[in-house]
Amino acid sequence: MMECDHNERTLEDINTVLEYAKLEASDVKPTVQCIYFSQQLDNQSFKLLELNDTVLETLTNGEKVVIRGSAEDMAVLCTSSATFEIKEAEISNSMLITPQLAIGQDVEDSGTQNIQVAKVISVMNNYYELRPCKPRISKLKKLLEENMFSGRECEEDEQHQGHKYSLEDLLDIVQGSETEIKESLKKLKACQIEGLWRVLDFNFLSQVLNHIIQLCEENEWLSTGIPLEECVETLGQLFPKEVITHIIQCYADEMKSAPSQRDQDPEDQPMEIDAKFFTFNEDKVCQFFAELILRSSGKFNFKEFLRVWEQTVPQGMKTSLSQLEGIALIERDSVPEVMGYYPVSL
């Protein structure tokens, strides 16, 4: 396609067209724009993206959006809290891209008649639309499980030399928004150790949690509340303090107020005004012990499982079938009935 000479259109030509259209020069704005096609159209340098209300509001508020995905992935667009898959769609009519075109209020209503040139640099026949989708979190679990944390004494072992990831690393790799990735890290019970996110090896997790429970039983904290700082300091010589804190936060709930000190000797009362106390979440702890049993056995006689489970949980806690949701299935058709370990994936 040859590029036209900008001088090919003259004011005389314009006025002749107006005359054919039975219009006076005063009926239109004085600036006339002549559109020409560039001799070298570039249809690959531009992509059209249709914004939905959520993404438009995000950009209007000055926030950023990010397109995530490797060469093997279908690209997704993420705001800070939502994920959208990017789908290509066709445009019924070709769309011309020109950076110089003036529209609406950009054109003066009065003045001397003149000609402006607008060059078409690209012709678009498709665009991209956004569709809400779930974050692709399975990759997050796979990445973190390649190098699980089993204690500092194991960090030099050959099987613990895999990659470790910061939040920034995960945001670059995992196709999900920052909020969704953080929520998934919480579901995985991932712990931030020295700035890097690690999934705890289940046997190591079991070891630490059992030490915490044993310490609580020795000090009668199961009923009165767990003093976080004292518990962490006591077990800190055995395990990393951030891991102890993390496990308590995973399996216990913070108390709104400290346990009553009225029956204690004044000399025994803690001096900390802002000391944090936690109380074990019965459902979470009982579910943990159910998982501990089922992981080691695969399948278990249902009635025998219930008996062993009740004997395993800390004294005073009550087991319930509702606590097995998300980790196990009961095979009712089997004789006798059996319980199997079937954890729900993210």
What is the pLDDT of the chain when averaged over all its residues? 89
pLDDT of residue 267: 56
Tokens 């992935």 belong to: 73
User: CA 100, CA 117: separation in Å to the nearest integer?
Assistant: 8
Does 196 have pLDDT greater than 50?
yes
Does 334 have pLDDT greater than 90?
no
Does 2 have pLDDT greater than 70?
no
The domain limits of the chain are 6-51+86-132, 138-198, 202-280, 282-341
pLDDT tens for each residue of 268-324: 555 444 689 999 999 999 999 999 999 988 788 999 999 999 999 999 999 999 999
Contact 260, 269 (CB under 8 A): no
User: CA 312, CA 306: separation in Å to the nearest integer?
Assistant: 10
Count other C-beta atoms under 10 Å from residue 143's C-beta.
19
pTM attached to this predicted model:
0.78
